[in-house]
Amino acid sequence: MLYELRTYLIPAGRMPDILARFATVTLSLFARHGMELVGFWTEVGPQAENALVYLLRFADEAAQERAWRAFRADPEWVAARARTEAAGPIVARVISKNLAPTPFSPLQ
């Protein structure tokens, strides 16, 4: 199993836009392309950044690469991204890290 931890740094005032895009478009496209969602989080507390964090699960790196390639080429995604970013980007920076579970992790 391979987990991908993604952190999106969101421009000021754009968090509602990125949350709406995930809720109405992106999650169904993830499912369509075999991208298994483990969870979503926003940061809280005095040191919190304007960040959206989520975790995806893939069988392996090849499955991850296939899924992302298909997702990015999906006409529904291309149209949704253009529509939701017409007033400017809703993601300032993406940080992506691949993680492998330890033998004692409950996430196998």
State residue 45's pLDDT score.
82
Report pLDDT digits (tens) over 28-72.
999 999 999 999 999 888 777 899 999 999 999 999 999 999 999
Of 89, 108, 102, 93, residue with least CA distance to 13: 89
Residue percentage of the chain with pLDDT more than 90 = 90
3-state secondary structure of 26: helix
State residue 39's pLDDT score.
97
- Strand residue runs (E) in 1-108: 2-9, 36-42, 51-58, 93-99
Quote the pTM value: 0.92
**Is residue 108 domain-resident?**
no
Task: Specify the CATH number for the domain of residue 74.
Answer: 3.30.70.100
Domain count for the chain, please give it. Answer: 1
Q: Which residues contact 97 (CB under 8 A, 6 or more apart)?
A: 4, 5
The residue segments making up the domain with residue 36 are: 2-99
Alpha-carbon distance of 64 to 82, in angstroms, equals 24
